[in-house]
Amino acid sequence: MRILVVTVVHHPEDARILHREIAALRERGHHVVYAAPFAARGTTPRPYVEGVDLPRAAGRDRGAALRAARALLAERGPAVDVVLLHDPELLLALPGTLRRLRRTGPVPVTVWDVHEDTAAALVMKSWVPRLLRPPLRGAVRTVERLAERRLRLLLAEYAYQDRFRMRHPVVPNLATPPADPPPPPGDDRVVYLGQLSRARGALDLIAMARLLAPAVRVEAIGAADPDVRDALAAADREGVLRWSGFLPNDRALARLSGALAGLSLLHDQPNYRHSRPTKVVEYMAHGVPVVTTPTPLAAELVERHGCGLVVPYGDPPAAADAVRRLAGDAGLRLRTARLGREAAVSELNWLHRAAEFVDRLEEWVKEETAGAAVTADAAGPAPSRRSTAYGGVEQGTEFPYDRVEGT
């Protein structure tokens, strides 16, 4: 198959998009065209994918990105078998585009990979005026219901099923544990991995670092939202913590091994109540004890597997005490690291689910091909269409669930 993967929001090095899904598609021998905001994020495509640069959608500045995405879909859509969309914003680029494609040529299977609870996430967006948040949440829910009638959906969390009327396959955010056993956790360094913002506990991280210094060093790895960027930079200059900024996934994960603990200090926000922090699974996979606030899915992992400690929301002293407890108790540190690693290898391993993801896309292409063949037989001779075999599947599919006016 030929797959067009599109994002205008996520970093091109996003772990789910590049290091899990695209890697799984390439492992099966499929060709991937990856459209993402490479230049805007200061990076370039990996040599093993065909990259297309798009503008970045950020804050209220989203028009240019959506126009570029719409043009890309119109140009590249007829040449691919699957379009895999990773942002809800990209749903706005579809009206008219798929209808024109259906008139002029083959229409790819179009898939929306649902990463988050978009409506819940709106309450955390500082660029969205407070008065507009309630009506926007309602509009997002409407768009989601329309999307599931016209597109194929993949969900990153089982809890996301509650937002939709139909059942959709789940492709969870799991980790790929290192093949070699990681070193035992040390006693003088803790790590935070991921996007940094107030809601994700960035300011709590700084306060905790001040309480732990100099005995334990705090490392923060990830890009920062504007609301905390200056505070992190100042803390780094003062030597309170080390903030490395964004690192490619492989380099960032290499910093986990040997850490005393991995931190997840998310606040109690609606968008986090239904999502399992991927960083927690990554810490477990790398043999690092977890210190997390009680977001439901993170706390459930830690308590079920005994792989770390749960601390209250917005309580840097409690988080610092948990780190000190791990630093002073080698037995606890080694036991939580071992149990987390075992659970990640046996139950939370992306390698066990990657084939299911690729199988699902291949099945959808086959279904659409079969549906197009039936339609063509009933309608008689059809206009000449692309008919190129990828992965043993004859292409030339219709898009039978895209029948609503305006799409």
pLDDT digits (tens, 9 = 90+) for 332-372: 999 999 999 999 999 999 999 999 999 999 999 999 877 65
Residue with tokens 């959906």: 153
Average pLDDT rounded to a whole number, residues 270-287: 92
Does residue 7 have a pLDDT over 60? yes
- C-alpha to C-alpha distances, 132 to 119, 127, 139, 257, nearest whole angstrom: 12, 11, 11, 44
Q: How confident is the model at residue 288 (pLDDT cuts 50, 70, 90)?
A: very high
Specify the pLDDT at position 372. Answer: 59
Contact 284, 344 (CB under 8 A): yes
With CA atoms as reference, report the closest residue to 294 among 198, 174, 228, 201: 201
Average pLDDT rounded to a whole number, residues 17-35: 96
Which residues are bridge partners to 220 per DSSP? Answer: 192, 243
Q: How much is the CA Rg of the chain, to the nearest whole Å?
A: 23
CA distance 174 to 312: 25
Q: What are phi and psi of 84, to 5 degrees?
A: -110, 110
Does residue 145 have a pLDDT over 90? no
- C-alpha to C-alpha distances, 128 to 58, 121, 197, 406, nearest whole angstrom: 12, 11, 16, 27
Q: How confident is the model at residue 400 (pLDDT cuts 50, 70, 90)?
A: very low
With CA atoms as reference, report the closest residue to 45 among 90, 87, 1, 12: 12
CA distance 157 to 177: 20
HSE toward the beta carbon, residue 147, CA cutoff 13 A? 27
Task: Report, in this order, helix, strand and coil percent for the chain, each rounded to 5.
Answer: 45, 15, 40
Overall fold of domain 2-172+354-394: Rossmann fold (3.40.50)
Instruction: Classify strands 393-394 and 389-390 as parallel, antiparallel or unpaired.
Output: antiparallel
Identify which has the larger pLDDT, 254 or 404: 254
- C-alpha to C-alpha distances, 353 to 116, 174, 176, 302, 343, nearest whole angstrom: 19, 9, 10, 22, 15
Encoded tokens for 304: 């079920």
Which residues are bridge partners to 264 per DSSP? Answer: 292
Cα 160 to chain centroid, rounded: 14
Contact 259, 186 (CB under 8 A): yes
State the CB neighbour count (10 A cutoff) for residue 89: 17
Encoded tokens for 84: 């895999």
Identify which has the larger pLDDT, 407 or 153: 153
Identify which has the larger pLDDT, 123 or 109: 109
Identical fold for domains 2-172+354-394 and 189-349, yes or no, is yes
Specify the pLDDT at position 383. Answer: 41
With CA atoms as reference, report the closest residue to 125 among 226, 17, 14: 226
Q: How confident is the model at residue 246 (pLDDT cuts 50, 70, 90)?
A: very high
| Listed ranges 37-46, 87-96, 369-378, 394-403; the one with the highest mean pLDDT | 37-46
Q: How confident is the model at residue 125 (pLDDT cuts 50, 70, 90)?
A: low
Q: Nearest 5°: CA angle at 115, between 251 and 58?
A: 75
| Listed ranges 77-91, 203-217, 372-386; the one with the highest mean pLDDT | 203-217
Domain map of the chain by residue range?
2-172+354-394, 189-349
Cα 331 to chain centroid, rounded: 34
Q: 207, exposed or middle or buried, with CB in 10 Å at 0-12, 13-18, 19+?
A: buried
Does residue 404 have a pLDDT over 60? no
pLDDT (tens digit, 9 = 90+) per residue, 64-99? 999 999 999 989 988 999 999 999 888 888 877 777
- Give percent of the chain above pLDDT 70: 85
Encoded tokens for 315: 């309580």
Instruction: Classify strands 82-85 and 242-245 as parallel, antiparallel or unpaired.
Output: unpaired
With CA atoms as reference, report the closest residue to 54 among 70, 69, 32: 69
Which residues are bridge partners to 189 per DSSP? Answer: 217
* Mean of the per-residue pLDDT values of the chain: 86
With CA atoms as reference, report the closest residue to 223 among 35, 41, 405: 41
Specify the pLDDT at position 133. Answer: 64
Overall fold of domain 189-349: Rossmann fold (3.40.50)
Encoded tokens for 313: 């929301």
Instruction: Classify strands 217-221 and 308-310 as parallel, antiparallel or unpaired.
Output: unpaired
Average pLDDT rounded to a whole number, residues 249-257: 93
Identify which has the larger pLDDT, 105 or 63: 63
Dihedral-angle region of residue 319 (phi above 0 means left; psi in -120 to 50 means alpha; beta otherwise): alpha
Average pLDDT rounded to a whole number, residues 158-171: 90
Q: How confident is the model at residue 126 (pLDDT cuts 50, 70, 90)?
A: low
